[in-house]
Amino acid sequence: MLLVISVLMGLVYPLVVTGLARSFFSRQSSGSLILARDHAVGSELLAQKFENPKYFWPRPSAADYATIPSGASNKGPTSADLVKAVNEHREKFGKDAPGEMLTASGSGLDPHISAAAAHMQVPRVATARKISPERIYTLVDETLEGPQLGFLGEPRVNVLELNLALDQLP
């Protein structure tokens, strides 16, 4: 009985589930990879670290964008470390930064930022790239995704896709 269950659950079941996933959800089961010049540059589901002023920056990450130790910092509102981190992020993003840019997401790997968080970064990106801010505002608006399923959440921008679109500007 142990051998039969081991073969069924350890071999047959995973192969069937993998086959179904590859058949019906091939893009998602392959990691939702984003390709640039036929090379994978990231996943649309995971944030990447961007610090160059020429690029839009994602939300802060408690795990420094690493996938293995991903997660929130679990620091409460009375934590001196959290206050210090928020103040550092406020210094980096500016005093008018949306709250999402001051604290990490639950996973620390959220690939999206709000339209407000993207618009807040346009002057920095425009200056670094020597491009008119209006052109970059337009690009942000063109890459804006609507709420999930049309009604869940707010419009948002995938940071990696926005940065790749920036690199395509002449």
What is the per-residue DSSP string for 51-114?
-STTS------TTTT-STT-S-----TT-HHHHHHHHHHHHHH-TT--GGGTS--SSS---EEE
- The answer to whether position 39 is within a domain reads no
- The answer to whether position 22 is within a domain reads no
- The answer to whether position 127 is within a domain reads yes
**How many CB atoms within 10 Å of residue 63?**
16
pLDDT of 141 reads: 96
Instruction: Give pTM, 2 decimals.
Output: 0.80
In the chain, the number of structural domains is 1
CA 147 – CA 154 distance, rounded (Å)? 5
- The answer to whether position 74 is within a domain reads yes
Give the domain range for residue 126: 44-167
Is the Cβ–Cβ distance between 155 and 140 less than 8 Å?
Answer: no
- The answer to whether position 13 is within a domain reads no
* CA 130 to chain CA mean position, Å: 25
pLDDT of 105 reads: 80
- The answer to whether position 53 is within a domain reads yes
Q: Which residue has the tokens 């409460």?
A: 76
- The answer to whether position 35 is within a domain reads no
Q: How do the pLDDT tens digits run along the chain, 170 residues long?
A: 999 999 999 999 999 999 999 999 998 888 888 888 888 899 888 999 999 999 999 999 888 888 777 777 778 888 888 888 889 889 888 888 888 898 888 888 899 999 999 999 999 999 999 999 999 999 999 999 999 888 999 999 999 999 999 999 98
- The answer to whether position 60 is within a domain reads yes
Q: How open is the CA angle 125-126-132, to the nearest 5 degrees?
A: 160
